Structure 1
Amino acid sequence: MMQSKGETGRQERYDLHTHTRASDGMNAPADNVRLAREQGLTGLAITDHDTVAGVMEAMAEGERQSILVIPGVEISTRASGKDIHVLGYFIQTDDPVLLQRLASLRETREARNVQIIDKLNGLGISITLDEVKAGLGRPLRPDESLGRPHIADALVRKGLAADMRDAFDRYLGEGKPGYASLPRISPEEAMGWIREAGGAPVLAHPGLYGDDELVETIVAKGRPAGIEVYHSDHGPEDEERYLVLARRYGLIATGGSDYHGVRQGVVFHGDLGSRYADGECVRQLQNAAEHGGR
């Protein structure tokens, strides 16, 4: 990983990709911050899917714990028939245009959830969206988002999958019988939204798309500030390949665990802090955000 030292001489480590229960994570935002402190991190980013609902709670806890919390988001997009995710850092979470846009994305996500449930019902699986929401153990706020991990969790509770990974492999992953996708904005459009909200856009986990030609096309067209080189699902060869790509296009090489918490005893995707970026990376992202997100 990239390494740098702060004013105290201590190595700075920031997990730039974490989720909370505001989307499909398991933890309250403040719990992610406390866990970051336990892991010895300098800071973390809260990057929930299509919502910033967890950011303020996390930032408040960050002040109490002396942990830097970077306001972020992960926006769902689509390109060449694939779901592509774009991370945004140092965004203005109270920007009314951004909030309206994210609300429209959550409406699309809810419509997709309905389609997934319909497909599962067509497979003879008795499951409802109300059951999925009941599994949260609390009311879903209007500014929070429900995703496939919640549906996977319900399938596991019904004994129809061994764990979340099994649920995705059998039913919910791309190309599986319960998978559904609706038209979404392009990665380039999401990058524009992030810039307009004062942030720096970063292409998330390129290794998950299985198409490096598409990844390079997105980078060339969208010109994000960075690319997520270090991710829980990237091996050493992936990291080297995307580091080369980052250098070719002058992108910031970022890193994060994509931590979603623990479900059925399994961490998804990786432990908080298991992938990270250094202080120089964070300063570069902040500088990019201050200069138009590039």
Structure 2
Amino acid sequence: MAVTRADLHAHTTASDGVDSPAAVARLTAEAGLAAVAITDHDTMAGVEEAVREGKRLGLLVLPGIELSASEDGIDIHVLGYGMDAGDPLWRERLLRQGSARTRRNERMVEQLQALGIDMTLEEAVEAARAAGAAPASLGRPHLASVLVAKGAAASIRDAFDRYLGEGAPGYAALPRIAPEEAIEWILEAGGVPVLAHPGLYGRDDIVKRLAGGGRLAGIETSHPSHDERQEQRYAAIAARFGLIQTGGSDYHGRRGEELRHSEIGARTADAAPLLERLAAQR
């Protein structure tokens, strides 16, 4: 199968997705796509399983990640593709990211308890296990599941709106590296760094600075959160600085009737420029 259309942004139970890595590969094949990138938050734990299933299906699975960074209190995410998962320094850095996420989860539970909500971190861990996720991948969606189960929220979206979204009383910022540092981590692990969903940040000055810094390889111009005008604006920025353009669904799956972002294949990109860039770095 010649690689053409690909979903270059998908999550699995290795982080905060609902479907296993193998299931995401199967969904991609069923959508008629040629490739998918597994881009879980701050981990590559789901890549190997997805690659195995992809080989069985004749589907190209790209190893990826979505690294968490921040600037001025704003979450900035950098997608990485093709990193060497066995690189010792890369593995150490990802462990550091995981430790920061654990501290954040503990703080959010404490804040929810202070609001009078009777819940524990152990209950959130069990919610993650019930969803097929490893405890190390515990995140806000799992906390939200506990809030819904206890009747403190009507739905996952309601839990985020009332308690867990940025600015909400249960929210805690994750101690994060700067976006430039995330880019360097990916490069030093042999990967290709791409700025994720720039339209979510509301800071095009940051987008332009990173795009013109000489280290970023691409911009995710096609994303469910972007309208047509935003896609055109970020495509123009990418063209101005000679960056590749990528796109993806940011698939997380369904929790009950709720779908986070969009279905696999709802947003895609031509994978050829990314594959060419990866080949040039080898």
TM-score (norm 1): 0.91
Q: Which amino acid aligns with 1:32?
A: V
Distance in 1 (CA, whole Å) between partners of 2:26 and 2:178 is: 35
Secondary structure at the aligned position of 2:80 is classed as strand
Give the aligned partner of residue 124 of structure 1. Answer: 116
Show CA shifts across 1:5-40 (max 9, x none): x75xxx821100000001000111000000001000
Structure 2 matches for 1:89-128, cutoff 5 A?
A: 89-128=81-120
Show CA shifts across 1:56-76 (max 9, x none): 000000100000000001111
Secondary structure at the aligned position of 2:212 is classed as helix
When structure 1 is superposed on structure 2, of 154-163 and 242-251 the one drifting more is 154-163
Q: Is the 8 A contact 1:200 1:288 kept in 2?
A: no
Correspondence 1:134 to 2:126: yes
Counterparts in 2 of 1:186 and 1:222: CA distance versus 1, 3 Å = farther
Distance in 2 (CA, whole Å) between partners of 1:287 and 1:245 is: 24
Give the aligned partner of residue 247 of structure 1. Answer: 239
When structure 1 is superposed on structure 2, of 97-106 and 212-221 the one drifting more is 212-221
Structure 1 consecutive aligned stretches of length 4 or more whose deviation exceeds 6 Å: none
Show CA shifts across 1:186-219 (max 9, x none): 1111111111111000111111112212222233
Q: Which amino acid aligns with 2:141?
A: P
Distance in 2 (CA, whole Å) between partners of 1:253 and 1:140 is: 31
Q: Is the 8 A contact 2:221 2:246 kept in 1?
A: yes
Give the aligned partner of residue 185 of structure 2. Answer: 193
Give the aligned partner of residue 264 of structure 1. Answer: 256
Counterparts in 2 of 1:185 and 1:279: CA distance versus 1, 3 Å = closer
Give the aligned partner of residue 59 of structure 1. Answer: 51
Distance in 2 (CA, whole Å) between partners of 1:185 and 1:279 is: 28
Q: Is the 8 A contact 2:246 2:271 kept in 1?
A: no
Q: Which amino acid aligns with 2:8?
A: L
Give the aligned partner of residue 70 of structure 1. Answer: 62
Distance in 2 (CA, whole Å) between partners of 1:162 and 1:222 is: 46
1:223 CA displacement: 3.0
Secondary structure at the aligned position of 1:177 is classed as coil
Counterparts in 2 of 1:136 and 1:182: CA distance versus 1, 3 Å = closer
Structure 2 matches for 1:1-294, cutoff 5 A?
A: 7=2, 12-137=4-129, 141=134, 144-221=136-213, 223-287=215-279, 289-290=281-282
Secondary structure at the aligned position of 2:143 is classed as helix
Secondary structure at the aligned position of 1:77 is classed as strand
Q: Any unmatched runs of 5+ in structure 2?
A: none
When structure 1 is superposed on structure 2, of 216-225 and 168-177 the one drifting more is 216-225
1:136 CA displacement: 2.5
Q: Any unmatched runs of 5+ in structure 1?
A: 1-5
1:233 CA displacement: 1.0
TM-score (norm 2): 0.94
Q: Is the 8 A contact 1:44 1:69 kept in 2?
A: yes
Distance in 2 (CA, whole Å) between partners of 1:50 and 1:196 is: 16
Show CA shifts across 1:64-103 (max 9, x none): 0000000001111111211111110011111121111101
Counterparts in 2 of 1:289 and 1:112: CA distance versus 1, 3 Å = farther
Distance in 2 (CA, whole Å) between partners of 1:236 and 1:137 is: 38
Distance in 1 (CA, whole Å) between partners of 2:264 and 2:86 is: 26
When structure 1 is superposed on structure 2, of 111-120 and 162-171 the one drifting more is 162-171
When structure 1 is superposed on structure 2, of 174-183 and 125-134 the one drifting more is 174-183
**Percent of pairs with identical residues:** 52
